[in-house]
Amino acid sequence: MWKWCFECCIKCLGGIPYASLIATILLYAGVALFCGCGHEALSGTVNILQTYFEMARTAGDTLDVFTMIDIFKYVIYGIAAAFFVYGILLMVEGFFTTGAIKDLYGDFKITTCGRCVSAWFIMLTYLFMLAWLGVTAFTSLPVYMYFNLWTICRNTTLVEGANLCLDLRQFGIVTIGEEKKICTVSENFLRMCESTELNMTFHLFIVALAGAGAAVIAMVHYLMVLSANWAYVKDACRMQKYEDIKSKEEQELHDIHSTRSKERLNAYT
């Protein structure tokens, strides 16, 4: 009994696509970091803009920075849901293209649909990898902005009497006609540098950038896994055709020998 259970467990563990499992864990971790930290960092950015830069939401349907931040939050919700489903689909594809499936379910029949699905996942994963590269590049922009702001705060404490200013127009956050500038001599700037909100938002954006980078690595890992699976499916298809032809030839030879044996038997009788 125990031996049978042990063999069953070993067979089940052998059927797990570990490469796809590692890529899925890395993808989920990266997406979770990006979505969670990115959402909180955007919320912190709204508080900083409203509290220290004295910006307010524009009434009506005007597309301002706060509306853009709300759009980015909804995009984050969509990314989290989409890649949760996509990770499950890739895991299922990994299970059905693992060599251990042959031992678990007998003959491994490769269909044209299976090959098309594998090719489709390769193309889709490549496009998602390019998309995550763009997301990573885009996420580096707020990291750069907050690094400049953090550097100004640090230089103010190191150099006495320094009058440094940060104008939001140079980052495209506000229009040219609006002057939203904060200088080191102002009270709002000193309160912002002393608060933990700035430091927290800056590090949240850094973690979100790291999460986007982890998602890129997961996509590259998936591409390697899917390419290996595609090669396996292709070889299995060729082997299947060879086995079918071999079985057909053996059946034909068997029929020929049976016919000749019957003819000799009839001639003898």
Amino acid identity of 110? I
Check pLDDT > 60 for residue 32: yes
Please tell me the predicted confidence (pLDDT) of residue 139.
93
Check if the beta carbon of residue 153 is closer than 8 Å to that of residue 264.
Answer: no
Please tell me the predicted confidence (pLDDT) of residue 104.
41
Please tell me the predicted confidence (pLDDT) of residue 48.
87
Stretch 1-5: mean pLDDT, rounded? Answer: 62
**pLDDT confidence tier of residue 55, bands split at 50, 70 and 90:** confident
42: closest CA among 63, 64, 72, 79? Answer: 72
Q: Where are the alpha helices (DSSP H) in the chain?
A: 2-14, 18-51, 65-96, 100-105, 112-158, 187-194, 196-268
Query: pLDDT tens digits, residue range 175-217?
Result: 666 767 777 777 888 888 888 888 899 999 999 999 999 999 9
Query: pLDDT tens digits, residue range 69-104?
Result: 889 999 999 999 999 999 998 888 877 776 544 544
Query: Each residue of 160-172: b (16+ CB within 10 Å) or e?
Result: eeeeeebebeeee
Please tell me the predicted confidence (pLDDT) of residue 254.
64
∠ CA 237-227-93, rounded to 5°: 75
Check if the beta carbon of residue 55 is closer than 8 Å to that of residue 65.
Answer: yes
Please tell me the predicted confidence (pLDDT) of residue 203.
93
Check pLDDT > 90 for residue 220: yes
